[in-house]
Amino acid sequence: EIVLTQSPATLSLSPGERATLSCRASQSVSSYLAWYQQKPGQAPSLLIYDASNRATGIPARFSGSGSGTDFTLTISSLEPEDFAVYFCQQRSNWPHSFGQGTKLEIK
């Protein structure tokens, strides 16, 4: 089973700052890595698929990069609505697995 490790667990930043979230896989997942955002009381929603492709309607301030085992989600300039929990997920191997999440909180 592929284990995804996200860091940091919590990231405290202010609106307007740049956020960098990391996801590391225990073995290569090629580019089959997605990022989801979850706000309290809501279902998750897709931000990035296949490492670097923004999902429909996702603002350009969100970008994804990486391949193999190391991936990054970058939010270039934080908006108030971006403070949420972010999960990475791989679809390279069964079972498809999620990382444990990074909570992005307002500093």
Partner 1 sequence: QGQLVESGGGVVQPGESLRLSCAASGFTLRNYGMHWVRQAPGKGLEWVAFIRSDGSDKYYADSVKGRFTISRDNSKNTLSLQMNSLRPEDTAVYYCAGLAPYNYWGQGSLVTVSS
Point out which residues bind partner 1 (CB under 8 A).
1, 34, 36, 38, 43-46, 49-50, 53, 55-56, 87, 89, 91, 94-101
Q: How far is the CB of 73 from partner 1 (least distance, A)?
A: 13
Residue 78 neighbours by CB under 8 Å, 6+ apart: 13, 14, 15, 16, 17, 18, 19, 104
Q: How far is the CB of 45 from partner 1 (least distance, A)?
A: 6
Q: How far is the CB of 55 from partner 1 (least distance, A)?
A: 6
Q: Given the complex with partner 1, which of 1 and 16 has the nearer CB atom?
A: 1
Q: Given the complex with partner 1, which of 20 and 53 has the nearer CB atom?
A: 53
Please name which of 6, 85, 10 lies closest in space to residue 41, comparing C-alpha atoms.
Answer: 85
Q: Given the complex with partner 1, which of 44 and 68 has the nearer CB atom?
A: 44
Q: In sequence order, what DSSP letters do the residues of 75-105 get, joined into one string?
A: ESS--GGG-SEEEEEE-SSSSPEE---EEEE
